Amino acid sequence: MEAHEAALVEKLIPENPKLRLLVEKHQAFKIKLENLNRRPYLAPEEDLERKKIQKAKLVVKDKIQHILNQHQV
């Protein structure tokens, strides 16, 4: 996220509970991925879980971006 987008998120969070929830979910996914990525080896089911988290994080990021685009117009 670029600096101006981060500033816009901080500005919009108090007035947009949906955005706040999405940002919290994105952060939680980021932490989970960081924890998995620190491990030298993942079992097949852990690797599958990592991929699911990556996809979910991307979906949330797209939703955040959509909200930001609505406010930049």
Condensed to tens digits (0 to 9), the pLDDT of residues 9-48 reads 999 999 999 999 999 999 999 999 999 999 999 999 999 9
Structure tokens belonging to residue 58: 């991307």
**How many domains does the structure of the chain reveal?**
1
Q: How confident is the model at residue 5 (pLDDT cuts 50, 70, 90)?
A: confident
| Per-residue pLDDT at 65 | 95
Structure tokens belonging to residue 28: 């939680």
Structure tokens belonging to residue 25: 């979910």
∠ Cα 48 49 52 (to 5°): 90
Domain hosting 51: range is 3-72
Give the mean pLDDT of the chain.
93
